[in-house]
Amino acid sequence: MSRYLPLGFLLALLAVCFSAGAIENALSLAGNEADLGSRFLSPSSTHFLGTDELGRDVFIRLLYGGQVSLLVAIIAGLVAAFIGTTLGMAAGYAGGRWDALLMRFTDMLISLPALPLLIILSALDIGKLGLGDFANAPSASLYKIIAIISLLSWTTVARLARARTLTLKEMDFVRAARALGRTGFKIVLRHIFPNLLGTIVVATALTAGNIILVESVLSFLGLGIQPPLPSWGNMLTNAQETIWEHARLTVYPGAMIFATVLAFNFLGDRLQNRLDPKSRSRI
Amino acid sequence: MSAALAFNRLLQALLTLLAVSFLVYILIGLMPGDPIDLMAAGNPRFTPEDAARLRALYGLDQPLPVRYGRWLTAALQGDLGYSRLYNMPVLEVLWPRFVNTGLLLGISLIITLMLALPLGVHAARHLGSWSDRAINLFCLAGISLPHFWLGILLISLFAVTLGWLPAGASLEGDFGDDIRAMTLPVATLAVSGLAVYVRHLRAAMTDALRADHIRTARAKGCSPARTVWNHAFKNALPPVLTILMLDLGTLFSGALTVEAVFGFPGMGKLMFDAVMGNDYNLALCGFLILTFFVLLANFMADFLYAALDPRVSYGVKR
């Protein structure tokens, strides 16, 4: 397999998904409008993948669903990377009691049954948190899912960042900086963070893949992205309801999730090998 | 493991459970709907004074720590409240579902391990060979596969197209039917978990095969099979079993997804139904129980590791 295939696939997917509007116009289709006269059409030259239970074009909806899934993966991935890096560096550099406390907390979070916790959190009434206006916005389910997932996904990044910080902290250039009287904050920012970047990128790629899986499960269960906003997960919910008549529809959204997550995992693997050639094939 | 350390670990687990229970209690308050409003909803003659009286009656006018204290005292005595959805005490609803989930997880885990053992050991014995690379590729695909989609695909193949097995998995008590109903959920879970354990086994086995005593065994003419299974495998097993114990939370997550896809009457389906049916007390108590078992398993993982590997002793401090 080509070296750049995973990254190329992800970039192409990103480009195609975010030009869904233009593609929709070019094909003169209306992806989100129900057309009950043309339900469950088979694939044809107008509807590449046919139509769904409301007569909407499946191909266009897959692209819009991809927008949502990728948006969640990217934003939640970046937030998780930020939280994880900050906490990991702080714990690793401060050491001692703070380190123990933060890592205990991380361990606790990792050991919790994640999905049960997520379905409970996704049922939260954010109106009760004093976000009344925000809670009523049409895309509230998108922001809510991003917030919930980022809050539970930073642990991988945090653990790896901490481990690397522990090594870096004892290196001569860091000790030299300390001897020259640099403050802890500056040392972490100027000397430790740049050396952590590779580790963080790998961990973030793997986390992003996982986020797509989590988002799709939650949306599938009806607790994530709310229809009519399409996501690969909630498209599968509808598809499962008509599985006896039109099993074909269950294939596409799942295949998209699978391919995207696989690409993120391959990317993470590849970057890992690049950064640390000694660790051929990650376990 | 020394008694002092065991005590320390136990204390940590209890503190975590306490923290989670507090979190759960706070979350109950943040769920949609208000119990007093719900009572008022069906009664046109309900006045604000009545509401205030009811609030005082149920202790809802007390500050948060006092309310939490009361709830915790009741919970410790086994009173987790009432399920609105099932009109039964929460514990009575949870218990049979918990047994079902245990059964589902247990059976699929046994199958997973039976498949993972030969694959992982084979990959470690032939590092870098084409079969190792194929197994690696399979594992990467396995961890990228959405479990619920696998479930749906299996339904579409075995229930819709072939008609061999039922699509749903409600247990009716008839042994033969129940086995047929459980086949697809068990298969989904078993295959989903496979990739993870093959990876762990391959890593542990690779480490074990590098040890000096393996070279000694080979040098003194021990057969390859005996070297692998008697000398190396014994050392590869403890870390994998420990990971398994530490992974209970992940296993519960997987079970939840699969139960939702197949409608299997387990804990996960119950919590999902509870959240959908606005029965938040049931959902949160379910979560608390799952957390309790996860912490118990984590706590036992330390003992297990020390018991299986005599080289490990946590007690010695230098």
* Angle, CA of B171, B177 and B182, to the nearest 5°: 60
A129 contact residues in B (CB cutoff 8 A): 30
Question: Does residue A127 have a pLDDT over 70?
Answer: no
A278 touching chain B per CB within 8 A: no
pLDDT higher than 60, residue A282: no
Residue A78's pLDDT is 94
Mean of the per-residue pLDDT values for chain A? 81
Q: Which of A247, A258, A281 sits opposite B146 (nearest CB)?
A: A258
Number of domains forming the structure of chain B: 2
Distance from CA of B77 to the nearest CA of A (A): 24
- The mean of the pLDDT values for chain B is 81
Contact B149 A222 (CB under 8 A): no
- For residue A9 the two structure tokens come to 């696939």
For the domain with range A2-29+47-279, which CATH number is right: 1.25.40.10, 3.10.20.30, 3.40.50.720, 1.10.3720.10?
A: 1.10.3720.10
For position A44, what pLDDT does the model report? 67
For CA atoms A123, A128, A131, A133, the dihedral sign is positive
DSSP string, chain B: --HHHHHHHHHHHHHHHHHHHHHHHHHHHHSSS-HHHHHHHT-TT--HHHHHHHHHHTTTTS-HHHHHHHHHHHHHTT---EETTTTEEHHHHHHHHHHHHHHHHHHHHHHHHHHHHHHHHHHHHTTTSHHHHHHHHHHHHHHHS-HHHHHHHHIIIIIIIS--S-S-----S-HHHHHHHHHHHHHHHHHHHHHHHHHHHHHHHHHHHTSHHHHHHHHTT--HHHIIIIIIHHHHHHHHHHHHHHTHHHHHHHHHHHHHHHT--SHHHHHHHHHHTT-HHHHHHHHHHHHHHHHHHHHHHHHHHHHH-TT--SS---
| pLDDT of res. A258 | 92
Indicate if B70 and B109 belong to the same structural domain.
no
pLDDT at residue A60 tops 50:
yes
* Residue-level pLDDT at B12: 81
Of B35, B54, B79, the residue that ends a domain is B79
Report pLDDT for B35.
Answer: 64
Residue of higher predicted confidence among A9 and B40: A9
Q: Is residue B220 part of a domain?
A: yes
pLDDT bin (cut points 50, 70, 90) of residue A283 is very low
Query: CA A258, CA A106: separation in Å to the nearest integer?
Result: 28
| pLDDT band at residue A136 under the 50/70/90 scheme | low
Contact between B12 and A104 using a beta-carbon 8 Å cutoff: yes
Calculate mean pLDDT across residues A113-128.
78
Which residue is closest to A240 within chain B, CA to CA?
Answer: B152
Chain A residues with CB-CB distance to B32 below 8 A: 123, 125, 127-128
**Could you tell me the residue range of the domain that residue B126 belongs to?**
93-308
Which chain B residues are Cβ-neighbours of A120 within 8 angstroms? 27, 271, 275, 280, 283-284, 287
The interface predicted TM-score (ipTM) is 0.82
pLDDT at A85: 93
User: Within this chain, do residues B283 and B234 fall inside the same structural domain, yes or no?
Assistant: yes
> What residues in A contact B283, CB-CB < 8 Å?
119-120, 123
Q: How far is CA B181 from CA A111, B102, B156, B252, in A?
A: 30, 16, 15, 20
pLDDT (0 to 100) of residue B317: 43
- Per residue in B122-153, pLDDT tens? 888 888 788 888 888 888 888 888 888 888 88
Where exactly are the structural domains of chain A? 2-29+47-279
Minimal Cα distance from B297: which residue of A? A111
- Window 47-66 of B: residues touching A by CB (8 A cutoff) are none
* Token pair in block for residue B180: 């047929």
Please say which residue of B47, B79, B111 terminates a domain.
B79
Instruction: Determine, for residues B156 and A217 on separate chains, whether the beta-carbon distance falls below 8 Å.
Output: no
In chain B, the residue whose alpha carbon lies closest to the alpha carbon of A259 is: B144
B260 touching chain A per CB within 8 A: yes
Nearest-neighbour CA in chain B from A174: distance (Å): 29
B301 has a chain A CB within 8 A of its CB: no
Domain membership flag for residue B317: no
Q: Which member of B253, B283, B298 has the closest CB to residue A115?
A: B253
Q: Per-residue confidence of chain B (318 residues) as pLDDT tens digits? A: 567 777 877 888 888 888 888 887 887 777 776 666 666 666 777 777 777 777 777 666 677 778 888 888 888 887 777 777 777 888 888 888 888 888 889 999 999 989 988 898 888 888 878 888 888 888 888 888 888 888 888 887 877 777 677 777 666 666 667 777 778 888 888 888 888 889 888 888 888 888 888 888 888 888 888 888 888 888 888 888 888 888 888 888 888 888 888 888 888 888 888 888 777 788 888 888 888 888 888 888 877 777 777 776 655 443
CATH classification of the domain holding B155? 1.10.3720.10
The residue with greater pLDDT, A99 or B32, is: A99
pLDDT at A86: 93
Using a cut of 0.90, tell me whether the model's pTM lies above it: no
Are B50 and B139 found together in one domain?
no
Which member of B27, B141, B284 has the closest CB to residue A262?
Answer: B141
CB distance A123–B31 less than 8 Å?
yes
Q: What percent of chain A has pLDDT over 70?
A: 80
Percent of chain A whose pLDDT exceeds 90: 13
A157 has a chain B CB within 8 A of its CB: no
A137 close to B (CB below 8 A): no
CB contact under 8 A, A111 and B246: yes
Q: Do residue A113 and residue B252 have CB atoms under 8 angstroms apart?
A: yes
pLDDT, tens only, A186-226:
888 888 888 888 889 888 998 999 999 999 988 888 887 87
pLDDT at B318: 38
Mutate to test the interface with B, among A105, A115, A144, A241 (most CBs of B within 10 A): A115
Contact by Cβ (8 Å): B280, B28: yes
Residue at B7 is within a domain: no
Q: Do B75 and B196 reside in the same domain of the chain?
A: no
User: In this complex, is the C-beta atom of A140 within 8 Å of any C-beta atom belonging to chain B?
Assistant: no
